[in-house]
Amino acid sequence: MTRVFDDPARFMEDMLEGFCSLYSRYVTPVPGGVVRAQEGAEGKVAVVVGGGSGHYPAFCGVVGPGFADGAIVGNIFTSPSAQDAINVGAAADNGGGVILTAGNYAGDVLHFDEAAETLTSQGIPAKTIYVTDDVASAPKGEESKRRGIAGDFVVFKAMAAAAEAGYSLDEVLRVGHHANDNTRTMGVAFAGCTLPGQSKPLFTVPAGQMGVGLGIHGEPGVSEEPVPTARELAGELVSRVVDELPLTNGSRVGVILNGLGATKYEELFLLWRHVEQLLTEHGLEIVDPEVGELVTSLDMAGLSLTLVLLDEELEGFWRAAADTPAYKKGDLSGSPEGVARTIRTVDTADHAVLTESSDKSKEHAARLLEMLGAMEEALVAAEDELGHIDAVAGDGDHGRGMVKGIHAAKTAAGEAVSAGAGLEDTLRSAGEAWAAKAGGTSGALWGAALRSVGTSIGDQPDGLSDHVLHSAIASAMETIQTLGKAQLGDKTMLDALEPFVRALGQALEAGKGLGEAWETAAGAATDAAQATAELAPKIGRARPLAERSVGTPDAGATSLALVFTTLTPFFR
């Protein structure tokens, strides 16, 4: 388990501070992550990698000459926010545009796509690409649904080397897609990992069994099998990745045998002798194999095998030199010394003067601040339980993410109220802070929802009517559905939100007062959240473990229903 920490909620921030101090020759910190300490060549494409922390040396450990220009670092197993990605992308830009890249996880895709749009609008051309190497997470023919695991390293390095070679933004992106199309990974776990501050692992593996097809965010495997001998394990891993690529006799391949955090190097070396023999028996020529920890999962006991089919171009990038805190290859000693980086920023903040608000709107803003305080108290109390629910088929970070989000929202709302803001501006400030500080899919959705409610309500100088409030929440639901691309029955927060909106509207139409209508709707949301236990997730991180999820309610729907219930006394 993770034993060394001060405040578990600040594990990532504290870790990153130590990392930047230790490796100041390589990296300099910026809000949301790190960038190279030295300027890149003028016009060079910047390759910015990222995702949740807990995977060292991915992602900050590979920032340096020959590899990444920057790394966006989220909370443990949680996608960074769009603002984090904007900050790092702008700071890493060398004038040639930016590639933002991560594993194919919903939160990363949502935030990085938004960041790329913002950077481009601010004069920094930006593109995104997401790695899909995990053969266990979706069948052949559905590669776009697969998640990125240790194959991240291959795709990131190929693009970084292409950028170092002077390729254009579109050409670096092409190389990334080419590398991704030719990279496959299969992993197994012998024991789960433990989040900082927690006493139990996110999942357990029965004695004598191993989880097959695990993720790198603490998700368990898609199935369990008896632990085989090393040779048998090598055979299973090799057969799964070899079967996925168009290999022929004499094909040249790059190989990674990756430890996930608690599997000793000696074990990996032992396994490698079998992997090497089996690949050779398949008629494959192994090029510069990597055996060690490249993409980990805190203290997970497990490993993965990655294979990349090389052509002349990819082989050159696979073998290219690099010098980073955690990964060194070849010789870059002849490279010119860079100058200290000047950090460029993109100002995306809304500097508009607070809108002129009525006294009624300011009263509602003050009331909102009280509501956010009640939400914070409830979510803090439920943090561990929400994490346990999320860990059944996900990464167990939902509770901590919600607590980070509500704390940031309440703080921002308090500052807005103190400045004389009305309800609309206070909701906007709260939403922006939630999305920026929480990260993850839920952070983006909650942030967008609060902003949508504020925009829909406006000032309302004569007071906030029940039907205006209902319309605003319905508008937020549409925003969430559009942004998250979820449908009813996908096992998401939408499965609790839609019943709430429907029940609230029906109760108000029937002539019930807002207090009674809200209580009825909160009950409907709670029932609907519990009913998600019968569903299998169709999107998101839990999708590859859909069957395992059946029997447990969705964490996002559960937290949403909790919030509605917590707010009921405010509407009586």
Task: Band the pLDDT of 87: cuts 50, 70, 90.
Answer: very high
Mean pLDDT of the chain: 92
In this predicted structure, the answer to whether residue 103 has a pLDDT above a threshold of 90 is: yes
**Cβ neighbours, 10 Å, residue 508:** 21
Task: Band the pLDDT of 337: cuts 50, 70, 90.
Answer: low
Q: Which stretch of 383-397, 410-424, 511-525 has the lowest confidence by average pLDDT?
A: 383-397
Question: Which whole number is the average pLDDT over 139-149?
Answer: 94
Q: Which pLDDT belongs to residue 1? A: 63
> pLDDT digits over 307-316, tens only?
999 999 999 9
Residue listed under structure tokens 């509207």: 505
Residues 546, 549, 554: CA angle, nearest 5 degrees: 115
**Could you tell me if 408 and 75 are in contact, meaning their C-beta atoms sit under 8 angstroms apart?**
no
217 is catalytic: yes
**Could you tell me if 89 and 112 are in contact, meaning their C-beta atoms sit under 8 angstroms apart?**
no
In this predicted structure, the answer to whether residue 100 has a pLDDT above a threshold of 80 is: yes
Q: Which pLDDT belongs to residue 218? A: 67
Strand partners, 300: 261
Q: Is the Cα dihedral 347, 350, 351, 352 positive or negative?
A: positive
Cis peptide before 139 (omega within 30 of 0): no
For 185: left if phi > 0, alpha if psi spans -120 to 50, otherwise beta; the answer is: beta
Q: What is the bridge-based pairing of β-strands 223-226 and 322-323?
A: unpaired
Q: Which stretch of 195-209, 225-239, 358-372, 501-515 has the lowest confidence by average pLDDT?
A: 195-209
Cβ-based neighbours of 122, under 8 Å, separated by 6 or more: 90, 346, 348
Task: Band the pLDDT of 349: cuts 50, 70, 90.
Answer: low
Task: Band the pLDDT of 304: cuts 50, 70, 90.
Answer: very high
Q: Which pLDDT belongs to residue 471? A: 97
In this predicted structure, the answer to whether residue 350 has a pLDDT above a threshold of 90 is: no
Cβ-based neighbours of 388, under 8 Å, separated by 6 or more: 396
> pLDDT digits over 541-553, tens only?
555 555 667 889 9
Instruction: Give the DSSP per-residue string, 491-522.
Output: SSTHHHHHHHHHHHHHHHHTT--HHHHHHHHH
Over pLDDT 70: what percentage of the chain? 95
CA separation for the pair 297, 215 (Å, rounded): 9
**Cβ neighbours, 10 Å, residue 260:** 28
User: In what side-by-side order are the strands of the sheet with 46-53?
Assistant: 27-30, 33-36, 70-76, 46-53, 98-103, 126-131
> pLDDT digits over 11-26, tens only?
999 999 999 999 999 9
Q: Which stretch of 144-158, 504-518, 536-550 has the lowest confidence by average pLDDT?
A: 536-550
Question: Which whole number is the average pLDDT over 514-531?
Answer: 97
Q: Which pLDDT belongs to residue 232? A: 97
CA separation for the pair 131, 31 (Å, rounded): 24
Task: Band the pLDDT of 366: cuts 50, 70, 90.
Answer: very high
**Could you tell me if 261 and 300 are in contact, meaning their C-beta atoms sit under 8 angstroms apart?**
yes
Give the residue, 24 or 203, on which the prediction is more confident.
Answer: 24
Structure tokens at 34: 């790190």
CA separation for the pair 45, 553 (Å, rounded): 44
Q: Among 477, 556, 455, 441, which residue's Cα sits nearest to residue 106?
A: 441
Q: Among 20, 119, 124, 16, which residue's Cα sits nearest to residue 73?
A: 16
Q: Among 361, 363, 381, 417, which residue's Cα sits nearest to residue 566?
A: 381
In this predicted structure, the answer to whether residue 326 has a pLDDT above a threshold of 80 is: yes
Q: Among 364, 563, 570, which residue's Cα sits nearest to residue 457?
A: 364
Q: Which pLDDT belongs to residue 348? A: 67
Global pTM reads 0.86
Q: Which residue of the set 55, 178, 217, 398 is catalytic? A: 217
Question: Which whole number is the average pLDDT over 398-410?
Answer: 94
> pLDDT digits over 247-288, tens only?
999 999 999 999 999 999 999 999 999 999 999 999 999 999
